[in-house]
Chains A and B, each alone.
Chain A
Amino acid sequence: MTIDKIRPGGVIDPYLPVRARISRIIEENPRIRTLVLEPLEELPAANGARSTAGRSSAYQPGQFVMVSVPHCGEAPISLASSPHEPELRLSVLKVGLLTEALHRLPVGAEVGLRGPYGRPFPLADLHGRRLLFIAGGIGLAPLRSVLESCLAEPEKFGPLTLLYGSRTPADLAFGEDLARWQQSGRVDCRLTVDQGAPGWTGAVGLVTELLAELEPAPEQTSVLICGPPPMIRAVCRQTAATGIAPEQIITTLERQMKCGLGLCRHCHLDHHLVCVDGPVYTLAQLQQLEIMELG
């Protein structure tokens, strides 16, 4: 599904958002909510092929959309849903004016969408491999898209492990999903929190400590990482130290973006523009770039 739109006269205007209605809201924690969206307009793909919202596989895990919120402009947000799911999902952390406005919108309100943009996770390259997902906080959103895609085609992938860290037990988001994944028996979910709380019986510590307990088979394992920059840095270092090749360590970056088209240059990263050259990168690629996350 590509969310470009046609101007009168038949020319595609890449800046024009399409309308999407919020059909459901999941409060993941006090600062993260997931919006389930129903696009209201037909969407021509970038290559000119037409597809209908939700039913197509025209977006891929790891891609993002530019989300318009009334009076707040646009911001890039990863698609948290998988193309195999019937609906679009955006999971949003409250960090600034636009995301706070998104947290105030009720069911039935509309947002604008354009995209999808960016290079996705290289799913075809991951066929047959053991996948280790490592996420912190809101970082689970883009990885959720990958996980759901793997679960939809279980025959194509090896065993799935998820390490998920939060600050406190109350901050753990995506509870519905975690429960479902655990119950399915197909994802080995391991959770940790930085600070425990009464009633929390799980692990306490950084996600890197959970990782230290695992012994991933370096030859067969690919790692997918998303979280705050210090976490990305630590996890990349640690997984590389276990002998996993840098080509098999994959992360996705967050940057300020205004166009998504490789023009506005807010997301410049060395000679790359993250909106078109990323946001998904392997550690091998990042090692060629000068970048804060590895700083």
Chain B
Amino acid sequence: MSDQYLLSRDHLAPLLRRLAKEYRLVAPVRNDHGDTMFQEIANPVATVPDLESQPQNSLKDFLFPQQEHLYDYRLDDAGGYHFQPPATTTPPTLFFGVRPCDLNAVLYLDVVFLPGRRELSYRRRRENSLLIGLNCNQPFADCFCAAVNAGPFLEEGSDLQLTDLGRDFLVEVGRAGGAEIIRRWPHFFRSAPAEERNRRFQLYLEARGGFSRQVHADQAIKRLAADTLPSGVWEELATRCQDCNGCAYLCPTCTCFTIVDQPQDQHHGRRLRLWDACTATGFTAMAGGHNPVQPGKDKLRQRFRHKLELDVKKHGRPSCMGCGRCVGACFGGADILHFINLAGR
């Protein structure tokens, strides 16, 4: 990231209000129940983003939604079977306050969904989106992004990247969409002097020292690749997993899905795409009863191999971004941190 500017904290809200006139604005918002979620801010005057908490959901909810309406189908009396895609509009969307783990997760989704023109709706949404990232000065309790090289600061991938310096935000320009914002609304930004850039580095070092967990992801990655895991790891995880699928749904990089038909009446229905989870027994079981995965023994194996072995082999980096959401959500202690710890025994 080359060009660097300062944005006064006082001018953040006015900038967002300005941007919200051109984009659908999505940012972390604390709701009435005390939960912080990425959500659309319809009224940026009344709603301010919550930049103090980790959002419970990720941008996956918006780019690859939990339920996607693929088609309406219709049966006519002559036996005809017709599919009609629903009308869709994809408003230009600005995602604000995206942490490095979640931003890296979007870059991973790009790698999965953009090649080969297989995913038209993902491409449409992604091409219509801008990402404004926020570096993490203080990691949250379950975070371990540094252990998987996904944070706490982002090196590239966002359109604009913010670092909280206190009174100001340091603004680094990444992709073209960010440069465009600076060009169109230059009065919000002023050039960053060298000492503020140095403070960014200082904050980065402090953030790296701020993790409360010691996570040896590299050790687990190496042992997976060399097939030298201690015995009994998969069985123990399979015993503890309680089949809730929560880890996969919360994970910003889990992309397994299923496609189902939802009949409306005898002649009409919808085809939906839903998130799915490789940990579910029915994910691999076949109609005749055979299951190529023995769930009692191996139900979590594909999950962790995919993230820490297969994607390392295929894309050169693990697809776990260390956001820690599964750690907070897991019922049984079968989350990826637990795996990494077991794998290192």
Is A71 in contact with B292, judged by CB distance below 8 angstroms?
Answer: no
* Beta-carbon contact of A268 and B83 below 8 Å: no
What secondary structure prevails in chain B residues at the interface with A?
mixed
Task: Give Cα distance in the complex from A98 to B112, angstroms.
Answer: 29
Q: Residues of A contacting B62 with CB < 8 Å?
A: none
A263-B255 contact in complex given A96-B287, A269-B292, C-beta closer than 8 Å: yes
Contact A98 B290 (CB under 8 A): no
Quick one: which of A1-40 are within 8 Å of B by CB?
A: 7, 11-17, 19, 21
Q: Complex formed: what's the CA distance from A21 to B82 in Å?
A: 12
Q: Per a CB cutoff under 8 Å, which of A17, A111, A256 touches B286?
A: A256
Interchain CB contact under 8 A, A111 and B81: yes
The answer, among B79, B292, B293, for a CB contact under 8 Å with A110, is B79
* A-B residue pair count with CB separations less than 8 angstroms: 114
Secondary structure dominating the interface of A: loop
Among A68, A95, A254, A256, find the residue whose CB has the most chain B CB atoms closer than 10 A.
Answer: A256
B240 at the interface (CB under 8 A from A): no
Chain B contacts for A97, CB-based, 8 A: 287
**Residues B83 and A264 in contact, CB atoms below 8 Å apart:** no
* Complex: chain B residue closest to A255, CB-CB: B292
Residues 106-138 of chain B, each 1 if its beta carbon lies under 8 Å from chain A, else 0: 000000110011111000000000000000000
Segment of A72-80, A194-202, A211-219 in the binding face: A72-80
Give min CB distance, A295 to chain B, whole Å.
9
Please give me the residue from chain B that is nearest to A138 by CB atom.
B288
Bound complex: CA A267 to CA B292 (Å): 9
**Which A residue sits closest to B74, measured CB to CB?**
A70
B287→A98 contact, CB < 8 A:
yes
Give Cα A264 to B113, complex, Å.
11
Cβ B286 vs Cβ A109 within 8 A: no
* Contact in complex: B269, A71 (CB < 8 Å): yes
A93 to B286, CA, bound (A): 13
Most chain A CB neighbours (cut-off 10 Å) among B113, B290, B313: B290
The residues of B that contact A268 with a CB separation of less than 8 Å are 278, 284, 302, 306
In the assembled complex, how far is the CB of residue A88 from the closest CB belonging to chain B, in whole angstroms? 16
In the complex, besides A263-B113, A265-B255, 8 extra interface pairs with C-beta distance below 8 angstroms are A19-B80, A95-B288, A98-B287, A109-B81, A254-B290, A266-B276, A268-B278, A268-B284
Could you pull out 25 A-B pairs where Cβ atoms are within 8 angstroms? A12-B117, A15-B70, A16-B71, A21-B79, A68-B81, A70-B75, A71-B261, A73-B259, A95-B286, A95-B288, A228-B290, A254-B286, A255-B292, A256-B284, A258-B258, A258-B276, A259-B257, A259-B259, A263-B255, A265-B255, A266-B283, A271-B314, A292-B292, A292-B293, A293-B292
